[in-house]
Amino acid sequence: MAGEIHRITKETLDKLKAEYHHLTTVGRTEIARVIESARMLGDLSENGDYHAAKDSQGKMESRIRQIDTVIRHHEIVERDENADTARHATIVQVVYEGDADDDFQEFFIGSIEEKPDEVLVASPTSPLGAALLGHSIGDLVEYEAPSGVLRVKIVGLR
């Protein structure tokens, strides 16, 4: 993950910086307070509150490291609402072979950090994401899945 360049929009970068600041200031202060309160309850070996707080602290610190990596290793990309081909930060509507055109699924090609609500993510390096890149509405695209080769038709871009 450290060597990987994370392609994100300026809006996502700003959101991540705000989350990072909150977690490293308010978040760390709050979790330290919770851990200290739990410690006062007694025997740490059987103290569920203490173990839950330490678990929360570990998850928070992991998220801080994850955000830090993205912030340090990013490239800004622009979202093109009028794109005529699938590219990074595009929502692609696809229909699996044999399904009706109105039975489409939407995939956001990009980082999970930018995922719009109610849309699945296809990383540009995943088999589906990589296969969709550069294709247009009407194109049939195939990609290798664990169950074999799957074919999708692009029915929309946004």
The H-assigned helical ranges of the chain are: 10-22, 28-39, 48-72, 127-132
Report the C-alpha gap between 116 and 12 in whole angstroms.
11
Of 114 and 35, the structure prediction assigns the larger pLDDT to 35
Nearest to 86 by CA among 136, 48, 15, 149: 136
Write down the CATH number for the domain with range 90-157: 3.10.50.30
| Domain residue ranges in the chain | 6-76, 90-157
Fold agreement (6-76, 90-157): no
For residue 23, pLDDT over 80 is answered with yes
pTM of this prediction? Answer: 0.76
Query: pLDDT class for 1, splitting at 50, 70, 90?
Result: very low
The string of pLDDT tens digits covering residues 36-90 is: 998 888 777 778 889 999 999 999 999 999 999 999 999 998 877 777 899 988 9
Confidence of residue 26 (pLDDT cuts 50, 70, 90): very high
Query: Which residue is listed with tokens 């990013």?
Result: 74
Region 1-16 average pLDDT: 84
**Measured distance CA(25)–CA(112) in Å, rounded:** 24
* pLDDT single digits (tens) 141-151: 999 999 999 99
CB–CB of 116/108 below 8 Å? yes
What's the rounded mean pLDDT across residues 16-29?
98
6-76 is a CATH 2.40.10.10 domain: no
Read off the pLDDT of residues 102-143 as tens digits, 9 standing for 90 and up. Answer: 899 999 999 888 888 889 999 999 999 999 999 999 999 999
Among the listed residues 143, 140, 145, the one whose alpha carbon sits nearest the alpha carbon of residue 155: 140
